[in-house]
A and B are shown apart, each in its own frame.
Chain A
């Protein structure tokens, strides 16, 4: 793109406060550490990953504690964002046109608010899997909770923990991929703002609300 066409700086729109971003990145780092440490005990071919933490014994005691950090950190995100993730009518339409979503025909999609249906599904799936992971994780946290459950219950818990953790990683891949694919998204979580054009293209209803709110208060 020639620089001449870019003479004007695009307007920017605030999307995330500093607190929300810190909250997000604590969650993100915890999730990545949990995935790596968890995978190291999940499959023998990945055991070498435990070396990143100082060995399998460190993974054994550290992984649950990172899980606790993630649980509380994610709870913060949940409280911040759950309202904006409630399902509304245009989400159904958006989902029905998933082909256009994946084909980047954003002009054929309904105007959506702060989050589109895909983001909402990621949000609610993550919320659900984290609840299941912390609950099943406590059952197999032998160091502190061994006596509270039977061995059979622990077997069930560890199977659920493994399967749901895989689901969590898959949801995470969708989340990260979407952020990379839709250019201009990551700055929302680094700088806290997006360009007006980004908001116009992907979250026009949200942009209208922001502009309308600013007009009213202004």
Chain B
């Protein structure tokens, strides 16, 4: 079985080690005559001094905070709805899973059509609901360009959060609610006193899972705004991608990638601690 473990280690660790090595060297594919001299932490220092990098950090943080909190709230509502026994629940669950299973590129295009297509569905819909007075050019504004991005992500990932929470909800003993009803607890009290604390572990895991995924957002923004207008919606992965594949600065791009990796690694460690004890250390099947 040892070869199996070596394969895992090789696939997992070798590429990251290589990225780390690149990140402390000067490596510009456009200027091969420079070679690849060791330059210490210069790539990292350059990134931290670049306003565009710092903006990308802010954009990523805003995206993570907004989408994850919206998805957790909407996911909780969806999970509670799906948890009620009702006719056609299987079909309903399939409908709810579908957005999650779609290619991200397709999700992005569906929402770009809604916000930017010739029919301008988003603006006209909001005007009919009297939320807007006049059509909005969503993709032209530095702030409004975030609306389609966040909407698309929430639409796509809410079902995933809901499924994780549903697994938690289904493990709650129904007799608890019965007892609470006997004692005269209303629906809201039941939710606060029973559901919320008991589903808290699943809630925490779902939140971290989503946050880790949101940090690396790429496809959605690439298709919806390409980081624009200007660089107003450029997240870290798009910034790193530009450094690597557009400017061919592999040392610098690797430095940026390593910082993203470090952030994700810390999050993953936290997540593993949470799922932790039970899953990793248990001896019995």
Chain A bound to chain B? no
| Chain B interface residues (CB < 8 Å from chain A) | none
